[in-house]
Amino acid sequence: MAKTSKAVRFDPADIKEELLKKYPPKVARKRAKQIMINEAQESETPPEIVANVRTIPGIITMRGCTYAGCKGVIMGPTRDIVNITHGPIGCGFYSWLTRRNQTDAGETGENYMTYCLSTDMQDQDIIFGGEKKLAAAIQEAYDLFHPKGICIFATCPVGLIGDDIHAVARKMKEKLGDCNVFAFSCEGYKGVSQSAGHHIANNQVFTHLVGENQTPPEGEYKINLLGEYNIGGDGFEIDRVLRKCGITNIATFSGNSTYAQFASAQHADLSAVMCHRSINYVADMLETKYGIPWIKVNFIGAEATAKSLRKIGQYFGDKALMDRIEAVIAEEMPEVEAVAADVRSRTEGKTAMLFVGGSRAHHYNELFQEMGMKTLSAGYEFGHRDDYEGREVIPHLTVDADSRNIEEIEVEADEKLYRARKTPEEIKALEDAGYKFKHYDGLNSDMDKGSIIIDDLNQYEAEKLVELLKPDIFCAGIKEKYSIQKLGVPMKQLHSYDSGGPYAGFKGAINFYKEIDRLVNSKVWSYMKAPWQENPELTATFVWE
C-alpha cells in the first residue's frame, strides 16, 4: 500500500460505526461499550469504557488465559524456582521458553528457566485424580535439582476433577524440609484474561515468599521495581541506570528475579510500579503490611525514564542522590537526543496503533511521542477500567462474577516488620510539593481527543482499523503480526519485541527509535505489486515489430 501523504482525517464516530456494522446485534451492543472515542480531559463526565469483561465466544480475541498470566508472565522469569505444570502436556509445552524473559545466572548459578516440567496427566489421572502423581513429580524434581522452591501450576482439568494441589504442596514442603513448595490455582477458565493469572501469581508470591529473608540487603536508596519482566533485557537496562544513580533495586517483580529477591522485598523503602495492571495490588499490600509507599514509574521512553528517576530521587529527598540522578541524565541524554533528532526527521508525523498488554499500550505512547509520531488508536488486551481512566475509578468498579472468583487477600500491618518509611509530615510535604503517591492517570489522559480507544481488540476490528486508518505501524502480539503485515503495514510485537530490545531506559529508547525508523521507512512495504500488476496494460511494442 502506497505510503504517500497520509494526513489522516477521520470522524471517529464513523470508524466506530464501521467496526460494529457487521456484528450480530448482541455482539455489537457489547463491543460498543468497549470502543470509546476519547474526550478532552476537562470534560466533566469523561466517558466510561467497559473493560475486564468476558470475551465473546467465537470472536477471535488477542487474549490468553489465567494459566498463561500466572505461570508464563509472572512466575516465568524467576530463574531459581522450579515450575511444575500439573496437567496434560500442552500448557507446560507452550509456556516453555516462548516469552523472551532474559536472565543472568552467571556461569554456575541456578537457572531452571530452560526446563519444562509437567505431570503430563493421562486419562487415568483425570478419572482417578492426579494428586499422587503430583506428589511423586515434586519428589522427582526435588531429587534431580534440589531447588529452594518448587511452584505448582493448575491447568483447566485440575480444577474440574478437584485435585487439592495446595494440600499436596503443603505436604511436600513439610516432607522435603528445605524446599518451599507452593501452588497456584490458575486454571485457564478462571477470570476473563491473563490478568486474573497475574493476580493469582502475585498473591502467592506475596504470601509464600515476601518477608522470608530477615537480613536486610546492603545498599542505599532501596527500592522494589514492580511489574518489570525483563523482556529482551529491559530489566538489565533499568538496573544499569539505577545502579549508575546509586539506587539499590532489592527485588524486581519478576524480571531476572530470584527466590532471595522476593524473600527480601520487605526491606525496600519504596515500590516503583511499572506495569500498573499486573501488580498494583502487590504495591498496596507491601504498603499495608510493611509500610513501603509506592509510586507509578515508567522506564519506557527516555523522557519518561528521566522523570521516573527524578521521582525516585525526590522521594528519598537526598541532595547527593538527586545530584547524581541529574548527572546520569545529563550523561545519558545527549546520545539519545542525537539519535532521536536523526530519526525524527523520518518519523515525524507518522502514525501508530497500539494494542498490547495492560500497561504497555500506554508506556509505548511515550516513545512514539518522542519520535514525533501520533497514536491514532490504542487499547489493552487485558486492562481494567483503572488502566484506562485512572485510579480514581477504582472505588466505582463493579465486581462481577468473574472477578469475584479471583482471590483478594486481606493483609494488615505486620507486627514485627511494619515500619513507616516517612512520617505523615514528610508525606504531606511531598504531596504539597505536587508529589503523587499511589497515583495513576491511565491511558486515556495521554491520548489525543478524538482518538479511538478499544478494549480487547479482536482480529476483525484490527483488520478494519488498519484498512480504514492506514497507520504507518501497528503494535500488538505474535498472533496479530502476520495478518497485519499481509495488509502491507509493518507490525511490531510489543509483548516479545520480535527479536529486539531492550527498549526500556536510555539505551532502550535508542534501540526503539532505530527499530521504528527501520520499520516505517523500509522499502519492503513497496514491493507488494509486480511491475505487470502495477501497469497491466501493454503499451510497448516489441523492437522487431
Partner 1 sequence: MLLRHTPKEVAERKALAINPAKTCQPIGAMYAALGIHGCLPHSHGSQGCCAYHRSALTRHYKEPISAATSSFTEGASVFGGQANLLQAINNIFTVYEPEVIAVHTTCLSETIGDDLNQIFEKARREGKVPEGCTLVGAPTPSYVGSHVTGFSNMVKAMAQLAEPSGKKSGKVNIIPGWVEPADMAEIKRLATLVGVPVTVFPDTSGVLDAPLTGEYTMFPQGGVTIKELKASGDATATLAMGEWCSADAARWLDAKCKVPCTVLDMPFGLAATDRFIDVLRTVAGVTVPDAVAVERGQLVDLISDMHQYLYGKRVALWGDPDQLISMCEFLVSLDMQPVYVVTGTPGKKFEERIREICAGRPFEVKVKAKGDMFLMHQWIKNEPVDLLMGNSYGKYIARDEDIPLLRWGFPILDRQGHQYFPTVGYRGGLRLLEKMLDQFLDRKDRDDPETSFELVL
The residue among 207 and 405 lying less far from partner 1, judged by its C-beta, is 405
User: Exposed e or buried b for every residue in 26-38, given b needs 16+ CB within 10 A?
Assistant: ebeebbeebbbeb
* Cβ atoms of 345 and 372 closer than 8 Å: no
Cα–Cα distance list, 144 to 85, 137, 529 (Å): 17, 11, 57
User: Exposed e or buried b for every residue in 453-478, given b needs 16+ CB within 10 A?
Assistant: bbbbbbeebbebbbebbbbbbbbbbe
> Looking at 208, 277, 481, 492, which residue binds partner 1 (CB under 8 A)?
481
Q: Which residues 97-116 are close enough to bind partner 1 by CB under 8 A?
A: 97-98, 107-108, 110-112, 114-116
Helices 459-469 and 478-486, packing angle to 10 deg: 40
Dihedral over Cα of 327, 298, 97, 136: its sign: positive
> Looking at 11, 14, 17, 140, which residue binds partner 1 (CB under 8 A)?
140
Q: Please give the single-letter amino acid code of residue 523.
A: K
Q: Which residues 482-501 are close enough to bind partner 1 by CB under 8 A?
A: 482-488
Q: Which stretch binds partner 1 (CB under 8 A): 130-138, 165-173, 272-280, 408-416?
A: 130-138
The residue among 92 and 233 lying less far from partner 1, judged by its C-beta, is 92
How many residues line the site for partner 1 (CB under 8 A)?
93
Cα–Cα distance list, 537 to 526, 528, 540, 544 (Å): 20, 18, 9, 20
Least Cβ distance, residue 189 to partner 1 (angstroms): 4
State the distance between the two ends of the chain, measured CA to CA, in whole angstroms. Answer: 36
Binding map of partner 1 across residues 324-343, x = CB under 8 A, - = no contact: --------------------
> Looking at 402, 407, 414, 446, which residue binds partner 1 (CB under 8 A)?
402
The catalytic site residues sit at 65, 68, 99, 198
Residue 360 to residue 234: CA distance in whole angstroms: 13
Q: Which residues 423-452 are close enough to bind partner 1 by CB under 8 A?
A: none
- As a dihedral over the C-alpha atoms of residue 370, residue 371, residue 374, residue 380, rounded to 10 degrees, the angle is -70
Residue 421 to residue 1: CA distance in whole angstroms: 57
Least Cβ distance, residue 185 to partner 1 (angstroms): 11
Q: How many CA atoms lie within 13 A of 11 on its CB side?
A: 4
Binding map of partner 1 across residues 50-79, x = CB under 8 A, - = no contact: ----xxxxxxxxxxxxxxx-----------
Neighbour tally for 542: CB within 10 Å: 5
The residue among 369 and 521 lying less far from partner 1, judged by its C-beta, is 521
The residue among 122 and 345 lying less far from partner 1, judged by its C-beta, is 122
Q: Is 526 left (phi over 0), alpha (psi -120 to 50) or beta?
A: alpha
Q: Residue 198 has which C-alpha cell? A: 497475574
Q: Which stretch binds partner 1 (CB under 8 A): 118-126, 171-179, 304-312, 537-545?
A: 118-126
Least Cβ distance, residue 109 to partner 1 (angstroms): 9
Least Cβ distance, residue 159 to partner 1 (angstroms): 7
Least Cβ distance, residue 89 to partner 1 (angstroms): 5
Binding map of partner 1 across residues 495-534, x = CB under 8 A, - = no contact: --------------------------------xxx-----
DSSP one-letter code for 76: T
Q: Is 301 in the site for partner 1 (CB under 8 A)?
A: no
Q: Residue 130 has which C-alpha cell? A: 492426579
Q: Which residues 450-469 are close enough to bind partner 1 by CB under 8 A?
A: 459-460, 463
Least Cβ distance, residue 85 to partner 1 (angstroms): 9
Binding map of partner 1 across residues 369-388, x = CB under 8 A, - = no contact: --------------------
User: Cβ-count burial of 338 within 10 angstroms (0-12 exposed, 13-18 middle, 19+ buried)?
Assistant: exposed
Least Cβ distance, residue 28 to partner 1 (angstroms): 10
Least Cβ distance, residue 120 to partner 1 (angstroms): 4
The residue among 68 and 183 lying less far from partner 1, judged by its C-beta, is 68
Residues 6+ positions from 352 with CB-CB distance below 8 Å: 368, 373, 374, 375, 376, 471, 472, 473, 474, 475
Residue 75 to residue 73: CA distance in whole angstroms: 6
The residue among 63 and 492 lying less far from partner 1, judged by its C-beta, is 63
Neighbour tally for 398: CB within 10 Å: 6
Q: Which residues 197-236 are close enough to bind partner 1 by CB under 8 A?
A: none
The residue among 391 and 470 lying less far from partner 1, judged by its C-beta, is 470
Binding map of partner 1 across residues 164-203, x = CB under 8 A, - = no contact: -----------------------xxxxxx-x---------
- As a dihedral over the C-alpha atoms of residue 214, residue 220, residue 224, residue 225, rounded to 10 degrees, the angle is -150
Helices (H) and strands (E) in the chain, counts: 22, 14
Q: Which stretch binds partner 1 (CB under 8 A): 86-94, 295-303, 388-396, 501-509?
A: 86-94
Least Cβ distance, residue 168 to partner 1 (angstroms): 12
